[in-house]
Amino acid sequence: MALLQNILTQAFITVIAVCGVYVLTGLTGMFSLGQAAFMAIGSYASGLLVIKAGIPVPVAILIAVVLAMVVGYLIGYPVVRLRRDYISLVTLGFGEAIAALLNRMTTLTGGASGLTGIPRCIGLEVATISAVAAIALVAFFKTSKYGRQCIALRGDELAAKAMGINVTKIKMIAFILSVALTSYSGCLYSFYMSYVDPSGFGWKKSADWVIMVFFGGVNSLTGSTLGAFILSALPQFLRDLQNYRYVIYAVLVILIINFKPSGLLGEWELTIGNIKKSIRRIGRKNKKEER
Partner 1 sequence: MALLEVKNIYKSFGGVKAIQNFSIEVNAGEIHGIIGPNGAGKTTIFNTISGVYTADEGSVFLNGQDITKMEQYKITHLGMGRTFQNIRLFKGLTVEENVMCAFDPRSSYSILGGLLPTPGRKREEKRGRELCKKYLDIVGMAEYLTEKPENLSYGMQRRIEIARALMCEPKILLLDEPAAGLNPTEVAELTELIQRISKELGFGIMLIEHRLELVMSISHVIHVQNFGETIAVGTPEEVQHNPAVIEAYLGKEE
Partner 2 sequence: MSIQVLINGLATGAVYALIATGFALIFNVLKFSNFSHGATMTVAAFVAYFLVSAKGYGIVPTLIIGALAGGLVAFCGEFIGFRRILKNHSSATYFFVSSITLGTLYEGLVTIKVGSNFFNYPQFFEKSTVELGKVVISTTDLMMLIISTVALGILAFVIQKTRIGRALRAVSFDRDTAQLMGIDSTRIIQFTFVVSGVIAGLAGVFLGIKYTLYPSLGSLVVKGFIASVIGGLGSLTGAVIGAVLLGLVETLLLSIMGSGYSTIATFAIMLVFLLLRPRGIAGSNVQEKA
Residues that bind partner 2 (CB under 8 A): 29, 31, 78, 81-83, 85-86, 88-90, 92-94, 96-97, 100-101, 103-104, 157-158, 162, 202-204, 207-208, 210-211, 214, 218, 243-247, 249-251, 253-254, 257-259, 261
- The least CB distance from residue 200 to partner 2, in Å, is 13
Considering CB distances under 5 to 8 angstroms, the limit depending on partner class, which of partner 1, partner 2, none binds residue 164? partner 1
- Find the radius of gyration of the CA atoms of the chain: 20
Could you tell which of partner 1, partner 2, none binds residue 219, using a CB distance below 5 to 8 A set by kind? partner 1
Q: Which is nearer to partner 1, 161 or 245 (CB)?
A: 161
- Are 100 and 84 in contact, with CB atoms under 8 Å apart? no
Closest CA to 263 of 226, 234, 208: 226
Instruction: For Cα atoms 143, 278, 231, give the angle at the middle one, nearest 5 degrees.
Output: 65
Rounded CA separation 133/145 (Å):
20
Q: Quick one: 121 or 257, whose CB is closer to partner 2?
A: 257
Exposed, middle or buried: residue 275 (CB in 10 Å: 0-12, 13-18, 19+)? exposed
Contact 219, 268 (CB under 8 A): no
144: partner contacted, choices partner 1, partner 2, none (Cβ within 5-8 A by kind): partner 1
Q: How far is the CB of 155 from partner 1 (least distance, A)?
A: 4
11 scored as a contact of partner 1 (CB under 8 A): no
Task: For the CB of residue 145, give the shortest distance to partner 1 in the complex, in Å.
Answer: 4
Residue 271 has phi, psi (to 5 degrees) of -125, 165
- Residue 152 binding partner per list partner 2, partner 1, none, with a CB distance cut-off of 5 to 8 Å that depends on partner kind: partner 1
230 binds, among partner 1, partner 2, none (CB under 5 to 8 A by kind): none
The CA distance from 52 to 76, in Å, is: 29
Q: Give 258's contacts (C-beta < 8 A, 6+ positions apart).
A: none
SS3 call for 59: helix
* Helices of type H across the chain: 2-21, 35-53, 57-79, 84-104, 106-109, 124-143, 145-155, 157-162, 167-193, 203-216, 221-237, 244-259, 272-290
Counting contacts by CB under 8 A, is residue 164 touching partner 1? yes
Q: Is 166 in the site for partner 1 (CB under 8 A)?
A: yes
The residues in 75-134 that bind partner 1, with binding defined as CB under 8 A, are none
Considering CB distances under 5 to 8 angstroms, the limit depending on partner class, which of partner 2, partner 1, none binds residue 171?
Answer: none
Backbone torsions φ then ψ of 195, nearest 5 degrees: -155, 135
Shortest gap between Cβ of 191 and partner 2 (angstroms)?
Answer: 27
* Residue 145 contacts which entry, partner 1, partner 2, none (Cβ below 5-8 A, type-dependent): partner 1
- Of the candidate residues 154, 185, 193, 222, the single one contacting partner 1 (CB under 8 A): 154
How many C-beta neighbours within 10 Å does residue 173 have?
A: 19
Distance CA(229)–CA(232), nearest Å, equals 5
Instruction: Kindly indicate which of the ranges 61-69, 84-92, 116-124, 139-147 contains the residues binding partner 1, using the contact rule CB under 8 A.
Output: 139-147
- The residue ranges that bind partner 1 (CB under 8 A) are 137, 140-141, 144-149, 151-152, 154-156, 158-167, 173, 219, 267
